[in-house]
Amino acid sequence: MNNFIYNIPVKVYFGENQLQHLSEELAKFGKRVLLTYGGGSIKRTGLYDAVVAEVKKAGMELFELSGIEPNPRIDSVRRGAQMCKEHHIDVLLAVGGGSTIDATKFMAAGAKVDHDPWDFFNEKWAPITEALPIISVLTLSATGSEMDAGGVISNPETNDKLGRVESPILLPKVSFLDPTVTYTVSAYQTACGAADMLSHIFEVYFNMDEDLYMLDCFMEGMMKTIIKYAPIAIKEPENYEARANLMWTSSWAINGFINGGKRKAWSCHPMEHEVSAYYDITHGLGLAIITPRWMEFCLSEKTVSKYVQFGVNVFGIDANQPAMDIAKQAIEKVKEFLFTTLGLKSTFTELGIGDEHIRTMARKACKDSVLPGFVPLNKEDIEVIFRNCL
C-alpha cells in the first residue's frame, strides 16, 4: 500500500436554508464580488434573488457574469478573468453546476496572470500558483467540482476539452450544498449526474493496486447510494432524502478521499472528454455509453477478481458461480442501470455520432502514448472501445 496525503480544506454548509450563511462567508474575503452563473436556471428557480439578497446583506458590491455554457468554453473564462482584473474583484461566487464552478476556478487563476488562460491547458502548461478565493453554491449533483481542485475547459477552435487539477489552489473556500436547490434539475440531467458520479468512483475502484479495504467498502457504499437514490430522484424530483444522498455523494466521489494510495490514472474520463470536445455532448451521457464498453474491454483473467468483488458487493450477484459469469452479469447490471433504469441513450449512433473522428479522438485521449489506467490502453485499444459504442 502506498503512502498518501489527505487534505480537503473546503468548508461545506450542507442542508436546507444554509444559504443564510452566505453573507457572513462572503464578507470574510473583501468588498467586491463577481457572481458567475450559467444559462439562467438560477433566475427561473429563484436562487438568483436569494444569492443577490445575501450579497446585499454582506454590504458588498456585485458584478455579474452569466451565460457560462455546459462544457464551459475558454472564452467565458477569458471574460471572467478580465472582469476580475478590471473591477478589482476580491471573491468569486459560482452559482451552478460543474460547468459554472469549473469555469470560475480558471477565472480566479486567470485573474492573477497576464497571459491567456488557455495557456493553463495547452502545451505551455503555465503554472497556477495563486487564484482569487471562490465560494460555490452547487445546483446540480454530478461533477464534485464543489469540493475538488480541478476543472475541465473546452476550446471549440481546436476541438480540445482539457482538464487541470491544481491542489489545493483551485478548491472553493466554501461550498453551499442545499439539496432543495436540485429539485428543479431535469430527469435527464439527474441521470447524467448519476452516471458521472458512478464513473468517478469506477475510475478509482477498478484498479488492481492493493489499497485500503476500508476505502473499497466506502466506494461500494457510495455506488449503492447512487443506484438506490437516482431512480427515486428521477421519479420524485422533490424527494429530499434522495437529493441529499446524491448531493453528498457527488462531493465525496471525487474530492480525493477515496484515492487513498492508488496511483493509477483514469480511463473513461479522458476518452469521454474527447467525445464532448468534438460533439459537445453532456459529460455524464458520454460516460454512460463508454463505461460498459470499457468494462467489457478490460475484462480478463487478470482483472476478473475486481469485477467479482463489484458484482457481489454492489449488485448482490450470487457469489457461487464461476468468476467470469459473475463479471459478465455485473456488466449487464451496469448497462441495465444506465440505459433502462436511468433511461439514458446507449450508443453514439443515437446521438448522431459516427466514426468520422474516432481515430483522432483515440489518439488524443492517450496523447499518442498509453492511458495508464486500470488496464493500460493505447490508441488502437481506445479505438476499439469507441467503435463498440457506435
- Contacts with ligand NZQ, residue ranges (CB under 6 A): 38-42, 45, 70-72, 96-100, 102, 139-140, 142-145, 148, 150-152, 181-182, 184-185, 189, 193, 196, 254, 269, 283-284
Grid cell in block for residue 203: 475510475
Q: Quick check: helix, strand or coil at residue 125?
A: coil
Residue 221 interacting entry, from ligand NZQ, Zn ion, none, C-beta within 5 to 8 Å by type: none
Residue 70 interacting entry, from Zn ion, ligand NZQ, none, C-beta within 5 to 8 Å by type: ligand NZQ
> Quick one: CA dihedral 73, 65, 171, 228, positive or negative?
negative
Minimal distance, residue 371 CB to ligand NZQ, in Å: 15
Binding mask 195-214 for Zn ion (x = CB under 5 A): -x------------------
Which residues 6+ apart lie within 8 Å of 70 measured at CB? Answer: 38, 39, 97, 99, 282
Residue 255 interacting entry, from ligand NZQ, Zn ion, none, C-beta within 5 to 8 Å by type: none
Q: Which is nearer to ligand NZQ, 181 or 242 (CB)?
A: 181
Looking up cell 421519479, which residue turns up?
235
Minimal distance, residue 52 CB to ligand NZQ, in Å: 16
| CB contact at 8 A, 344 and 191 | yes
Sheet holding 11-14, edge to edge: 11-14, 174-177, 134-138, 91-96, 32-37, 61-65
Q: Quick check: helix, strand or coil at residue 64?
A: strand
Q: Which is nearer to ligand NZQ, 286 or 311 (CB)?
A: 286
Q: What is the DSSP string of 307-369?
A: HHHHHHHHH---SSS-HHHHHHHHHHHHHIIIIIIS-----SGGGT--STTHHHHHHHHTTTS
Minimal distance, residue 86 CB to Zn ion, in Å: 33
* Residue 148 is a binding residue for Zn ion (CB under 5 A): no
Minimal distance, residue 68 CB to ligand NZQ, in Å: 7
* Start-to-end C-alpha separation, the chain: 39
Which residues 6+ apart lie within 8 Å of 170 measured at CB? Answer: 105, 106, 108, 109, 128, 131, 134, 149, 150, 151
Q: Which is nearer to Zn ion, 90 or 196 (CB)?
A: 196
Chain-centroid distance, C-alpha 55: 27
Minimal distance, residue 150 CB to ligand NZQ, in Å: 5
Q: Which is nearer to ligand NZQ, 90 or 166 (CB)?
A: 166
* Residue 146 is a binding residue for Zn ion (CB under 5 A): no
Q: Which is nearer to ligand NZQ, 147 or 358 (CB)?
A: 147
Question: What phi and psi, each to the nearest 5 degrees, are found at residue 256?
Answer: 105, -20
> CB under 5 A: which stretch of 40-48, 107-115, 177-185, 193-201 binds Zn ion?
193-201
Minimal distance, residue 152 CB to ligand NZQ, in Å: 4
Q: Which is nearer to ligand NZQ, 94 or 334 (CB)?
A: 94
Residue 45 interacting entry, from ligand NZQ, Zn ion, none, C-beta within 5 to 8 Å by type: ligand NZQ
Q: Which is nearer to Zn ion, 178 or 196 (CB)?
A: 196
What distance in Å separates the CA atoms of residue 371 and residue 202, rounded to the nearest whole number?
16
Interacting residues toward Zn ion by CB under 5 A: 196
